Amino acid sequence: MRRAIHGNATPRPDTASSLNKLGLVYLHLAELDKALEKHEQSLIMRQEIHGDGTQHLDIADSLNNLGLVHRRAKNCAWPKFATSTHHGWTEYLDPGT
């Protein structure tokens, strides 16, 4: 609904927060593809709002939640774990790759 009101092109903190919360719901339901998608969207939007490379609590929250998806994926041998490099966030989660 927030996107319908404000549009897809407008990065807004409340929309990023909603995407982040949806990602957590999908993670809880073990729908890892959807969880990853929502957390990536949240991270991208938060980076647009606060600046890419900026140290901000919202960006850290999104990165943490992406890490939770990866941890769940690693525990259940989810194939996307090793291949996802969308927007370079894997460098934050696993500097060894």
36-73 tens-digit pLDDT: 999 999 999 999 999 888 899 999 999 999 999 988 88
**Residue 49 near residue 61 (C-beta atoms within 8 A):** no
Q: Is the pLDDT at 8 greater than 90, yes or no? A: no
Residue tagged 């919360």 (tokens): 21
pLDDT of 94: 44
Structure tokens at 20: 């982040």
Global confidence as pTM: 0.69
Q: Is the pLDDT at 96 greater than 50, yes or no? A: no
Q: Is the pLDDT at 78 greater than 70, yes or no? A: no
pLDDT of 73: 84
Count the domains in the chain: 1
Residue tagged 């850290």 (tokens): 60
**Residue 43 near residue 84 (C-beta atoms within 8 A):** no
For residues 1-8, average pLDDT:
58
Q: Which domain holds residue 29?
A: 2-93
Report which of 58, 76, 74, 55 is spatially closest to residue 20, judged by C-alpha positions: 58
